[in-house]
Structure 1
Amino acid sequence: MNTIISFMKRNYKILLAIVALSATLFAFKIKSGAESDPGKDKLLLELLTFVIEKGHYSPAPIDDKFSKGVYKDYIQALDPSKRFFIQSDIDEFSKFEYELDDALINKDLTFFNLTYDRLMKRMEESKKIYKEVVSTPFDYSIDETFNTDYDKAPYAKNEKELKDRWRKQIKLSALSSLTDLLKMQEDKAKGVASTQESSEILKDGEKVNADPLNVKNKKNSAKVKEDNKPKTFAELEKDTRTNALKALNEYFDFMKDLDRDDWFSVYINSITARFDPHTNYFAPEEKERFDVDISGKLEGIGARLQKKNDFTEISELISGGPAWRGKELEAGDVVTKVAQGNGDPVDIVGMRLDDVVKKIKGPKGSEVRLTVKKVDGTIKVISIIRDIVEIEETYVKSSIVNKDGLKYGVIYLPKFYIDFANRGGRDAGKDIAIEVARLKKENINGIVLDVRDDGGGSLSTVVDIAGLFIEQGPIVQIKSAGLKKEVLYDRDKKIEWDGPLVIMVNSFSASASEILAAAIQDYKRGIIVGSKQTYGKGTVQNVIDFNQFIRNSGVGDLGALKTTTQKFYRINGGSTQLEGVSSDVVMPDRFAYLKMGERDVENAMPWDKIDAADYTVWNKTDNFNNAVLNSKNRIANNAQFQLIEDNAKWIDSRREDNTYSLNIDKFRIAQNEIEEKAKKYKPISQYKNSLKFNSLPYEVEEMAKDSVLKEKRERWHQGLSKDIYIEEALNVLDDLQAKADLKKSLPAKLKKEKLVKS
């Protein structure tokens, strides 16, 4: 979940105290190099604990309860599927369960070193186990089961039991793939198009596991479509084991890329998580990714990379970037060497992906030369001049739709982005203002602002965006520990859009999204439609770069800490923490009953309230209440929404169905029963509204030059044309139209007909 970052208000006294303390931190011996560096680790822990204790909004006491929580989180993070450690390992580890608080205070790394060394040992052993498991055919006639609820599963008592757990886990994955393959062949023989539903149903409503088998086997199972000749059961069974082996090899290749520092970051984040869910440590690479995520831009060549065994492959070119403009590099090309300018090329085969990325990225204007193996097998050296690359998916986009003679604008905001390093750069507030101006130029009658799945971002951009729709006034209240509240205002009397407004949210709209929705709701400026409630994150984080305290120390990059320093409150005084924002119009949601909000996260901060700010409710929407009532009535009587609600209840009822038969006959019977029930909900994915969405004129011109952008916009518009939620949001805009304005907008013939009838 992205976070709200507020750089407008920092506690400088705390930061000065940290600077003063940093002089005492170098009692540890510091050594350079990539190997284990206990001095650096201890320095990191020293900074971490001090900054949290002095800067966190409400730091938890570091005691035995704290220690127990760190222990639980860390062990679970190391082995979530309980397929590496055995009970004797846990017995040995558990001696530290109530000692990690003291270890943290004393900067004692004994527990981390023990668990890290043991995990590396167990992973090496696991490679032999899974290769042995997939070397012989599975016997699917045996009557046995496997439970995928790893949280409740005990650890294997010994290595024999661990091997059996691996066998059952791989067998279940292979069985799921095998039933898909069999069904495809059977359907093909009958002349029926296969839907491949069984694999999807098997996972529907379950927790997503990091295990690649579930996804990989499903992808490979599609290959049967290419074969005209049916395969025997034995051949299909062998294919599933081959696919399982490939998936596990790739998984362990990825794990091999993780070094000791990566695992130490896991340990540190098990510590930070005890303070609250949004206090996190960023290792150097993660901090860089966070900066890109919040700003939407980077300096480099504009290509996404992926690891394929020991090789680095170009998976996608970013539209508008230097690699895309150069037209020499292509998706599918394999990079084998990297050279800086006129420097000697460095062989990157077998190198960690993060290290490859570091070599390819670089400052604007610098040259990088890539030696690539092209898709056709030829070898080519490609020179690229690095530049600023904008990640298009980060930024706001808008569309126009005509509905019953009226014209509406739909604005989608994926996150509240800002470039903190360049105040003159792009940010969500400026870009939304531009989109509103563009839509007004097209003479729209209403705006839908879609912040579904928007996890937040910059606090300052929320104030700017909310201010586009009100005259002036408070937007959000902020409180720091022990200090008086601060109210952030929109002080610009200009209103960019005073017409009908709908804000779309769902249960993954969080943080900054919730501030915006809450402000619009408290002013009664627009109608909030979507899930029953938003995510429920009502806290503010600051990112503190550790390196500012250790300059010229030779210790290397220590990363940064994102820590909770404030809580924010609605202008009515209530907190969005845990409770989120309740929609004015609640739309049924397939995942409405699953536990995925802040209220379901351990160590979440409590809900509270403060005094309301002084604000004036918007009084220019006479038919606000009628629009809400009409929408509720439509939803209650809409068969598609009723089906979605029924589906949500069914998904919820299946949450505890974690035990699967590994007998193929019983497995297929169970999956067929589920598939039959799931057919009832097929119309949900097949739904289409009658609306046509179009890009604005300026973007039509851009798409004529950029096929990648054209494809992305066409996919977005296609998604909107299948979206019942956006359709109802537009219905609400219909109901919000003032009668006089509506008559002006109606075509002459229709207007005359209505006047005669009245």
Structure 2
Amino acid sequence: MKTKLKITSFILASLILVCSVQTQATNSINNSDPEKDKILVYILRNILTRSHFVVKHMNDDFSEYVFNEFINGLDPNKRYFTQKDIKDFSQYKYDIDNQLLNEDVTFYNLVYERFTSKIKNAKSYYGDLLAQPFNFNKKETIDVDYDKIPFAKNENKLIDHWRKQLKLSTLIRIQNKIEKQEAAILKDKKFKKRKFKELEKEARLEVLKNMDDLYVRIEELEHEDWFSTFLNSVVGAFDPHTTYMAPNIKERFDQDMSGKLEGIGARLQKKGIYTHVFELVSGGPAWKQGELEAGDIILEVAQGRKKPLDIVGMRLDDAIKFIKGKKGTEVRLTVKKKMDGSTKIISIIRDVVELEETFVKSSIVEKDGKKYGIIDLPKFYINFNEANYRDSAKDMEKEIERLKSEGVSGLIVDLRNNGGGSLKTAIEISGLFINQGPIVQIKYRGENPIVKKDIDPKIQWDGAVVVLVNEFSASASEIFAAAMQDYKRAVIIGGNQTYGKGTVQSVLPINQFTKYNKNLGALKMTIQKFYRINGGSTQIEGVYSDIAIPSRYSYMKFGERDLEGALIWDKVKQADYIQTNSYENFSDVIFNSKQRIAADSKFKLINEYAKWLKENQDDTSYSLNYKMFAKENEVREKNAEKFKYVFDYKSDLIFTSPKYEQLLFKNDTALADKRIAWHKNLSKDVYVFEALNVLSELKLTSANKIVKH
């Protein structure tokens, strides 16, 4: 609340008169509202230049960024604009900043009007191209890294670009049909094999239908949808986490599939014409299934074995209707993987997605005669809007006490895939492991850092601690992990480094800054930056693990550092704190673990797999000759077979629930089943096994254990 008031009071006075802005542009674009567009530009410009964490000058560099982002936002696959179009647009390349300062949207209008005419042309392009068979004997290739390829020189080159894209889509479908046919022949020798010509025609008709459906949906999009793309090009010039949400998008943003719905347990976002997976709900069907990941793009949705429906270009609320469904039913998602750009069909059995699974839970395991506890913390949650709200700090404190009563001698805190949450609970949870002192520093634009401290002298857990992280551990997770590392209170083990999101965003309803009576949506804006108590930012760098373990993401472009326009890493003055130096053999334990990992055949294979994934990510060229395409596919399949069992692992460890939870199983068989599934996964988790090795070797320095501040 304090943050919101701080921003509002700073700029409200200058913005409240925005309703007097004059509008002179004619309503030349369907469904457009020139007055509303100008008001939005005026308010967003003022909020961002006055209150965004970064002082960003609206100059030629800013203008060039907006120019490129908007054009790429409309035409990411280089399907519509030619170099002549880009030349026409370039008259405003370094003038967009001046236009925005005058609430002038001439650049937007020019590009959008040209874009709408190109959309109409596209129908004739793909219709004519798909009317005849493609020549799959011709030796040619296509590069699908559209960020690197230039815009077509002219209309003829543009049509040829369309031809290659449609040919690839058809080729992929033919290959899938042939593979299914071969599998059917193996099962039934009498299965009638269809000719290539027949399969090719069927594949082309499927591509044609998908294209027709796509353009029906594109034509349903309104001016507001496209103007939002432009506004996001403007606000995104400040940083990638600052976004504008139109009223309908804000409404969908607030809709959480992880709540009380029967579905897959994923939160989705719309980016352009694509439906992206924003996050998975811990314990939900998609999370349990294990193949769907944040950042994946959902292309098609099929109900069980029925024919898939293409959802590219579909409104988000419509796409959600097809993805969610009754408990026990199957949904098959055709997904473009963020990891390597490959296309994969993922089958998920829908279930009731319960928020309970996003809360703290713990398990006990015995190793070499000693008991250890593992606490899973999916997010740093708190909700003041509910009467008896759950608080991750209070739940964590309670869980530690329960584990202590059962005699555990060490704790693993599992923060893998924890995207963050409440700063307040991150500070309080950190305080459970130290006497008292600084936990994190936060900084507003142009102000000195504020040191946030744990002021409670009580130590809830003074034993050995290992914190398990991965490349998806972000924000509040990084605050906790960084504090534990800076105090030398815990060993951090996991991926090479965490995500690296060291910024804080606030969602501001735009109508609070004006008397304008139409809904203007909201702005999610970066207002603060996090800094460790050692002075370094968690931005970009994240937290480097004390013990880095190979993972599938080891060589991938992933994390804040790979986002264009991400805020830089910097540092502030170190806070006044004293390391606990809790362990007498800290360095030795880390050395031993690194030696084990380097010699372990399982981790060697995972490292090879990570390199292979990186190679696939970098290889964006495909042959459009059928025989060569099939051969390339065969090689990929053969290489993939090598890594088929890369994550198969089974320890002899037995994980059990704490006694208090076991008492609940008598009346809650569903909870018992969930815990059985979780414990089974823990016993097959090679990362947990190594974390337990580390934990078992740690020796505390003295009976007093932690130095007082």
Q: Tell me the TM-score range normalised by the shorter chain.
A: 0.7 to 0.9
Q: 1:694 touches 1:717 (CA, 8 Å); kept in 2?
A: yes
Please say if 1:261 is aligned against 2:224: yes
Please say if 1:273 is aligned against 2:236: yes
Please say if 1:534 is aligned against 2:527: no
Q: 1:319 touches 1:709 (CA, 8 Å); kept in 2?
A: no
CA pair 28-503 structure 1, distance change in 2 beyond 3 A: same
What's the counterpart of residue 19 of structure 2?
26
Q: 2:82 touches 2:151 (CA, 8 Å); kept in 1?
A: yes
Deviation of the 1:25 alpha carbon? 0.4
Deviation of the 1:630 alpha carbon? 1.9
Please say if 1:675 is aligned against 2:671: no
Deviation of the 1:406 alpha carbon? 3.8
- AA partner of residue 431 (structure 2): G
CA pair 303-596 structure 1, distance change in 2 beyond 3 A: closer
CA pair 690-26 structure 1, distance change in 2 beyond 3 A: same
Deviation of the 1:82 alpha carbon? 0.9
CA pair 241-408 structure 1, distance change in 2 beyond 3 A: farther
What's the counterpart of residue 144 of structure 1?
140
Q: 2:444 touches 2:528 (CA, 8 Å); kept in 1?
A: yes
- AA partner of residue 459 (structure 2): I
CA pair 290-691 structure 1, distance change in 2 beyond 3 A: farther
Deviation of the 1:111 alpha carbon? 1.9
Please say if 1:82 is aligned against 2:78: yes
Query: In the aligned structure 1, how far is the partner of 2:635 from the partner of 2:496?
Result: 31
What's the counterpart of residue 601 of structure 1?
563
- AA partner of residue 556 (structure 2): L
Query: In the aligned structure 2, how far is the partner of 1:55 from the partner of 1:717?
Result: 47
What's the counterpart of residue 546 of structure 1?
510
Query: In the aligned structure 2, how far is the partner of 1:606 from the partner of 1:38?
Result: 36
CA pair 426-737 structure 1, distance change in 2 beyond 3 A: same
Question: What TM-score do you get using the length of structure 1 for normalisation?
Answer: 0.74
Moved more, 282-291 or 727-736: 282-291
Structure 1 counterpart of 2:168, from 167, 172, 193 = 172
Please say if 1:660 is aligned against 2:622: yes
- Secondary structure at the counterpart of residue 197 of structure 2: helix
Per-residue CA distance 1:6-27 (angstroms, 9 max, x = gap): x555673x52242212332011
Deviation of the 1:53 alpha carbon? 1.4
- AA partner of residue 662 (structure 1): L
CA pair 263-465 structure 1, distance change in 2 beyond 3 A: farther
Query: In the aligned structure 1, how far is the partner of 2:481 from the partner of 2:99?
Result: 44
- Secondary structure at the counterpart of residue 199 of structure 2: helix
What's the counterpart of residue 611 of structure 2?
649
Query: In the aligned structure 1, how far is the partner of 2:283 from the partner of 2:593?
Result: 41
Moved more, 273-282 or 596-605: 596-605
Deviation of the 1:351 alpha carbon? 11
Structure 2 counterpart of 1:456, from 414, 420, 424 = 420
Deviation of the 1:722 alpha carbon? 3.7
Structure 1 counterpart of 2:92, from 92, 96, 102 = 96
CA pair 427-123 structure 1, distance change in 2 beyond 3 A: farther
- Secondary structure at the counterpart of residue 541 of structure 1: strand
Please say if 1:555 is aligned against 2:481: no
Deviation of the 1:446 alpha carbon? 2.8
What's the counterpart of residue 282 of structure 1?
245
Per-residue CA distance 1:138-196 (angstroms, 9 max, x = gap): 332222211112112122234443333223223223323433443454456457xxxxx
Please say if 1:108 is aligned against 2:109: no
CA pair 724-297 structure 1, distance change in 2 beyond 3 A: closer
Per-residue CA distance 1:585-632 (angstroms, 9 max, x = gap): 010123222222323333222222222222222244333333212211
Deviation of the 1:444 alpha carbon? 3.3
1:696-707 matches, cutoff 5 A: none
Moved more, 150-159 or 251-260: 251-260
What's the counterpart of residue 64 of structure 2?
68
Moved more, 131-140 or 643-652: 131-140
Moved more, 397-406 or 260-269: 397-406
CA pair 84-714 structure 1, distance change in 2 beyond 3 A: farther
CA pair 169-697 structure 1, distance change in 2 beyond 3 A: farther
What's the counterpart of residue 539 of structure 2?
577
What's the counterpart of residue 554 of structure 2?
592
Q: 1:544 touches 1:562 (CA, 8 Å); kept in 2?
A: yes
What's the counterpart of residue 332 of structure 2?
none
- AA partner of residue 566 (structure 1): Q
Query: In the aligned structure 1, how far is the partner of 2:652 from the partner of 2:361?
Result: 21
Deviation of the 1:639 alpha carbon? 0.7
Structure 2 counterpart of 1:473, from 409, 412, 437 = 437
Query: In the aligned structure 1, how far is the partner of 2:161 from the partner of 2:314?
Result: 32
Deviation of the 1:391 alpha carbon? 4.1
Deviation of the 1:226 alpha carbon? 14
Deviation of the 1:239 alpha carbon? 4.3
Q: 2:465 touches 2:490 (CA, 8 Å); kept in 1?
A: yes
- Secondary structure at the counterpart of residue 111 of structure 1: helix
Deviation of the 1:584 alpha carbon? 0.4
Query: In the aligned structure 2, how far is the partner of 1:177 from the partner of 1:120?
Result: 29
Structure 2 counterpart of 1:431, from 379, 390, 395 = 395
Query: In the aligned structure 1, how far is the partner of 2:12 from the partner of 2:529?
Result: 25
What's the counterpart of residue 213 of structure 1?
none
- Secondary structure at the counterpart of residue 645 of structure 2: helix
What's the counterpart of residue 484 of structure 1?
448
CA pair 394-608 structure 1, distance change in 2 beyond 3 A: same
Query: In the aligned structure 1, how far is the partner of 2:544 from the partner of 2:550?
Result: 13
Please say if 1:637 is aligned against 2:599: yes
Please say if 1:234 is aligned against 2:231: no
Q: 1:475 touches 1:487 (CA, 8 Å); kept in 2?
A: yes
Query: In the aligned structure 2, how far is the partner of 1:66 from the partner of 1:570?
Result: 30
What's the counterpart of residue 326 of structure 1?
none
Query: In the aligned structure 1, how far is the partner of 2:220 from the partner of 2:463?
Result: 54
- AA partner of residue 663 (structure 1): N
- AA partner of residue 572 (structure 2): I
Calculate percent identity across the aligned residue pairs: 47
Moved more, 588-597 or 423-432: 423-432
CA pair 319-662 structure 1, distance change in 2 beyond 3 A: closer
Deviation of the 1:279 alpha carbon? 1.9
What's the counterpart of residue 315 of structure 1?
none
- AA partner of residue 640 (structure 2): A
CA pair 265-635 structure 1, distance change in 2 beyond 3 A: same
Q: 2:467 touches 2:493 (CA, 8 Å); kept in 1?
A: yes
Query: In the aligned structure 2, how far is the partner of 1:148 from the partner of 1:174?
Result: 15
- AA partner of residue 499 (structure 1): G
Please say if 1:47 is aligned against 2:43: yes
Per-residue CA distance 1:98-125 (angstroms, 9 max, x = gap): 1110111111122222323333333343
Please say if 1:182 is aligned against 2:178: yes
What's the counterpart of residue 475 of structure 2?
511
CA pair 236-148 structure 1, distance change in 2 beyond 3 A: same
CA pair 490-172 structure 1, distance change in 2 beyond 3 A: same
What's the counterpart of residue 343 of structure 2?
none
Q: 1:93 touches 1:115 (CA, 8 Å); kept in 2?
A: yes
Please say if 1:37 is aligned against 2:30: no
Deviation of the 1:48 alpha carbon? 1.0
Structure 2 counterpart of 1:496, from 441, 450, 460 = 460
Deviation of the 1:738 alpha carbon? 6.3
CA pair 647-284 structure 1, distance change in 2 beyond 3 A: same
Please say if 1:728 is aligned against 2:690: yes
- Secondary structure at the counterpart of residue 563 of structure 1: strand
Query: In the aligned structure 2, how far is the partner of 1:527 from the partner of 1:436?
Result: 18
CA pair 288-489 structure 1, distance change in 2 beyond 3 A: farther
Segments of 5+ residues of structure 2 without an aligned counterpart are 270-280, 285-301, 305-312, 330-352, 704-709
- AA partner of residue 46 (structure 1): Y
Q: 2:252 touches 2:317 (CA, 8 Å); kept in 1?
A: no
CA pair 617-356 structure 1, distance change in 2 beyond 3 A: closer
Deviation of the 1:84 alpha carbon? 2.5
CA pair 509-160 structure 1, distance change in 2 beyond 3 A: same
Aligned Cα root-mean-square deviation (Å): 4.0
